């Protein structure tokens, strides 16, 4: 089983693909290249890629369409657009498609490595967020019930905390009256017994 991160580079300039391969292979990535959008999409169908880089200007299927198709079939796969002729309009379109980056050529080894790491981290965060959102109704109900129980216990404890001084005060005030009542009751019983014996 191959545990290396799988990287696909789609660019009609073979030098770009070789640059990615040279930089990332040394860092433990498996890099495959494609020279057209069509070739890249076919390659994407055969392998589970962890990140895809695509040039924006290519004959046939351009990079934006490549990004759109990849995001439609596998939304968690990060796609980074690389270009030497990108415009703000292209960048806006790419952003709408949900690409994970829009990078201008020329690319240095440092840029290649950093954008790859960022894309992989973004993909991991997106998957984690999606997994957290997938909560069944039963689990949600149990969490809600447990939460309400905890809130109820907390409210009861807070209520007792604030009520304790008043309860103690009530005992202090009531104690003499209870004592007098008990003394009076015992006295009446003694008197009634004496009357009964006389």
Domain spans in the chain, listed from the N-terminal domain onward: 6-133, 135-198
Which is it for the CA torsion 40, 113, 111, 122, positive or negative? positive
* Residue spans of alpha helices (H) in 74-198: 88-97, 109-133, 137-197
pLDDT at 130 over 90: no
Helix (H, G, I), strand (E, B) or coil at 5: coil
Q: Which pLDDT band holds residue 74 (cuts at 50, 70, 90)?
A: confident
Distance CA 180, CA 157 (A): 34
6-133 fold: Rossmann fold (3.40.50)
- Top pLDDT among 177 and 70 is at 70
Which tokens in the block code for residue 101? 């980056």
Average pLDDT over residues 52-76: 89
79, β-bridge pairs: 52
Average pLDDT over residues 30-58: 92
Helix (H, G, I), strand (E, B) or coil at 32: strand
Average pLDDT over residues 83-99: 78
* pTM of the entire predicted model: 0.61
Q: Which pLDDT band holds residue 160 (cuts at 50, 70, 90)?
A: low
CA atoms in the 13 A half-sphere facing the CB of 111 = 13
């Amino acid at each position: 089983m191959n545990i290396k991160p799988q990287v696909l580079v789609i660019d009609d300039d073979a030098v770009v693909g070789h640059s990615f391969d040279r930089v990332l292979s040394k860092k433990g990535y498996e890099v495959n290249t494609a020279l057209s959008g069509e070739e890249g999409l076919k390659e994407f169908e055969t392998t589970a890629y962890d990140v895809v880089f695509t040039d924006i200007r290519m004959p046939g299927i351009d990079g934006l369409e490549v990004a759109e198709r990849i995001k439609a079939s596998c939304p968690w796969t990060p796609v980074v657009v690389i270009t030497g002729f990108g415009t703000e309009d292209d960048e806006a379109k790419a952003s709408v498609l949900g690409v994970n980056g829009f990078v201008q050529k020329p690319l240095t080894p440092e840029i290649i490595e950093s954008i790859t790491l960022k894309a992989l981290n973004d993909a991991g965060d997106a998957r984690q967020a999606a997994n957290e959102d997938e909560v069944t109704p039963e689990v949600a109900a149990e969490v809600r019930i447990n939460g309400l129980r905890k809130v109820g216990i907390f409210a009861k404890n807070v209520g007792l905390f604030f009520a304790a001084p008043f309860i103690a005060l009530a005992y202090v005030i009531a104690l003499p009256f209870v004592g007098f009542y008990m003394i009076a009751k015992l006295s009446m019983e003694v008197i009634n017994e004496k009357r009964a014996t006389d």
